[in-house]
């Protein structure tokens, strides 16, 4: 008994000694507890934690478990690291949970190097070829918005939660690019898939994911982490089935979508030794585009609806501007932005304020380096604090409140702000930025053109903190839609 107690005390003292020696050589930050570091604070209230970081300076360190992690809290230092030293700061950690559930490398969590570069470049080109740059994606979004509005108005006057409709509508855009087709809102198996996707985003970002990454051997035991794996398999099966269909009808001279283009590329690169175009990477890249391209935009749309219900004056002003410029019926296009400055500013402000990826995605250093005089070994985790940049008091008129004036000049014209950073920056910058901007502007403008949104009468005040994991999602809510043509 005594020996055990003695052992524990020495372990504890060693840990204190380890922490003290690490802390003396790393950037300042909140005091870590022995063994768990800052994890308790990180999980207790993620947003409070993220907002506290800039108090320690432009660069601070936190301890998630035993691991020392760097957080970058200003635009200046983020440019220094992610842009000027892009090759050093664009790695991704090897995350045990992701290794366990995926086989291919794909894009989002692929380590910096040949495979990531090939897959990312190919995806970017294909996204462009199948719509971006041409008018077709805009038209597709406008058409989808038309279906969405029709579907929403089926619930006219009744409180309902539009989560499924938003996810289905947004997903249809990326689906038409990668699979060549959209899915009807009453398609049950697609609805199940979207639900699965949503659950996995939440589960992986929750304590379940973190615990798995700390003690991966729990994979041999039952528990909620098994569901994450089953869900990932369901997505894989769904994609594989579509790939099989595509193989049967493929015309190598006329690729219809991303899958066709990928199959053609696989054949083209077959003889190359360093080709990374194989079935596992096809599934992973496709599932990356599908996942990254769905919940992000759909989630932002939900926040947007909440802000519109909370700020009926903003909603009214947008609607008036849209109807003045487009009337009730003409679908919006991206060129209309110039004539819709208030609406444009509102869409930007929704994205700034929704701040759906508060700490960005984690990067790692690919080699030993120095930043602001601190030595960072290869493999150091680095988080870009997007929240700090998008609420920087020096650069925003209204950093902590929802206010479209953040993007308007004195003349009421739209004005860009370089501290708007929802898509991050550098070689890892969001690959879907152009697509997401198109989706957000056209969906929002269409939704505000045709429908008025309000809280159900007597609804209790809504908690706008949301649930925060890697992604910040709104809590469930109900809205009441009224068709604008019948509402004065």
Residue numbers in the known binding site for heme are 430
Tell me how far apart the alpha carbons of residues 468 and 386 are, in angstroms, rounded to a whole number: 14
Window 137 to 176, contacts with ligand HEM (CB under 6 A): 174
The yes or no reply on residue 430 touching ligand HEM (CB under 6 A) is yes
Contact 388, 398 (CB under 8 A): no
What residues form DSSP beta bridges with 487?
A: none
The yes or no reply on residue 288 touching ligand HEM (CB under 6 A) is yes
Contact 448, 318 (CB under 8 A): yes
Q: How far is the CB of 327 from ligand HEM (least distance, A)?
A: 28
- Tokens representing 34? 């022995």
Count residues contacting ligand HEM (CB under 6 A)? 26
Nearer residue to ligand HEM within complex by CB, 37 or 93: 93
Question: If you search the block for the tokens 């992973």, which residue do you land on?
Answer: 284
The yes or no reply on residue 445 touching ligand HEM (CB under 6 A) is no
Tell me how far apart the alpha carbons of residues 119 and 428 are, in angstroms, rounded to a whole number: 12
What residues contact 428, with CB distance under 8 A and at least 6 apart? Answer: 82, 90, 361, 363
The yes or no reply on residue 71 touching ligand HEM (CB under 6 A) is no
- Going from the C-alpha of 271 to that of each of 106, 140, 261, 267, 276, the distances in angstroms are 21, 37, 17, 8, 11
Q: What is the DSSP letter of 463?
A: -
Is 361 in a helix, a strand, or coil? Answer: coil
Q: How far is the CB of 294 from ligand HEM (least distance, A)?
A: 8
Residue among 283, 431, 451, 480 that touches ligand HEM (CB under 6 A):
431
Contact 176, 60 (CB under 8 A): no
Strands 480-483 and 381-384: unpaired
Q: How far is the CB of 102 from ligand HEM (least distance, A)?
A: 14
Nearest position to ligand HEM, beta carbon: 432
Q: How far is the CB of 223 from ligand HEM (least distance, A)?
A: 28
Window 408 to 427, contacts with ligand HEM (CB under 6 A): 422-424
Residue among 432, 466, 469, 474 that touches ligand HEM (CB under 6 A):
432
The yes or no reply on residue 356 touching ligand HEM (CB under 6 A) is yes
The yes or no reply on residue 300 touching ligand HEM (CB under 6 A) is yes
Residue among 46, 63, 102, 120 that touches ligand HEM (CB under 6 A):
120
Instruction: Name the one range near ligand HEM by CB under 6 A: 207-215, 245-253, 286-294, 465-473.
Output: 286-294
Instruction: Name the one range near ligand HEM by CB under 6 A: 143-151, 185-193, 276-284, 352-360.
Output: 352-360
Nearer residue to ligand HEM within complex by CB, 19 or 259: 259
Nearer residue to ligand HEM within complex by CB, 117 or 317: 117
CA 288 distance to own-chain centroid: 11
Q: How far is the CB of 425 from ligand HEM (least distance, A)?
A: 7
Contact 119, 292 (CB under 8 A): no
Tell me how far apart the alpha carbons of residues 122 and 265 are, in angstroms, rounded to a whole number: 9
- Mark the binding-site residues, compressed into ranges: 430
Q: How far is the CB of 360 from ligand HEM (least distance, A)?
A: 5
Q: How far is the CB of 52 from ligand HEM (least distance, A)?
A: 20
CB atoms under 10 Å from CB of 445, counted, come to 29
Which of 286, 185, 178, 187 has the alpha carbon at shortest distance from 232? 286
Strands 381-384 and 67-72: parallel
Residues in contact with ligand HEM by CB under 6 A are 107-108, 120, 174, 288-289, 292-293, 296-297, 300, 356-357, 360-361, 384, 422-424, 428-432, 435-436
């Amino acid at each position: 008994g005594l020996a055990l107690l003695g052992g524990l005390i020495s372990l504890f003292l060693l840990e204190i000694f380890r922490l003290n020696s690490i802390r003396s050589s790393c950037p300042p930050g909140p005091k870590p507890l022995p063994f768990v570091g800052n994890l308790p604070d990180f999980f207790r209230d993620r947003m409070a934690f993220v907002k506290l970081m800039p108090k320690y300076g432009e660069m601070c360190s936190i301890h998630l478990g035993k691991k020392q992690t760097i957080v970058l809290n200003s635009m200046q230092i983020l440019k220094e690291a992610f842009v000027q030293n892009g090759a050093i700061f664009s790695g991704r950690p090897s995350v045990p949970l992701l290794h366990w559930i995926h086989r291919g490398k794909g894009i989002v969590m692929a380590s910096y190097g040949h495979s990531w570069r090939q897959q990312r470049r190919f995806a970017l080109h294909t996204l462009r070829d199948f719509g971006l740059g041409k008018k077709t994606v805009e038209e597709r979004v406008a058409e989808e918005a038309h279906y969405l509005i029709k579907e929403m108005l089926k619930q006219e006057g009744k409180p309902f939660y539009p989560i499924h409709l938003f996810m289905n509508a947004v997903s249809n855009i990326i689906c038409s690019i990668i699979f060549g087709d959209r899915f009807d809102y009453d398609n049950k198996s697609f609805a199940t898939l979207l639900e699965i996707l949503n659950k996995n985003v939440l589960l992986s970002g929750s304590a379940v994911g973190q615990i798995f990454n700390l003690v991966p051997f729990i994979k041999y035991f039952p528990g909620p982490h098994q569901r994450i794996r089953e869900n990932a398999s369901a997505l894989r099966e769904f994609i594989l089935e579509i790939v099989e269909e595509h193989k049967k009808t493929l015309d190598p001279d006329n690729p219809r979508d991303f899958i066709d283009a990928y199959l053609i590329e696989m054949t083209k690169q077959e003889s190359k030794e360093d080709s990374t175009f194989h079935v596992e990477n096809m599934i992973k890249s496709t599932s990356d585009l599908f996942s990254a391209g769905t919940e992000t935009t759909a989630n932002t749309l939900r926040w947007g609806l909440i802000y519109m219900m909370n700020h009926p004056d903003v909603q009214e002003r947008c609607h008036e501007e849209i109807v003045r410029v487009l009337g009730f019926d003409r679908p919006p296009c991206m060129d209309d932005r110039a004539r819709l400055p208030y609406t444009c500013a509102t869409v930007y402000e929704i994205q700034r304020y929704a701040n759906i990826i508060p700490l960005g995605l984690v990067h790692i250093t690919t080699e030993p380096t120095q930043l602001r005089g601190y030595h960072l070994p290869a493999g150091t985790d680095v988080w870009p604090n997007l929240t700090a940049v998008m609420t920087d008091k020096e650069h925003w008129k209204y950093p902590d409140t929802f206010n479209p004036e953040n993007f308007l000049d004195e003349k009421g014209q739209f004005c860009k702000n370089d501290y708007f950073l929802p898509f991050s920056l550098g070689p890892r910058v969001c690959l879907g930025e152009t697509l997401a901007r198109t989706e957000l502007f056209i969906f929002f403008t269409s939704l505000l053109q045709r429908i008025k949104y309000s809280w159900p009468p007597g609804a209790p005040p809504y908690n706008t903190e949301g649930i925060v994991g890697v992604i910040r999602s709104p809590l469930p809510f109900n809205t009441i839609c009224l068709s604008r043509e019948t509402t004065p």
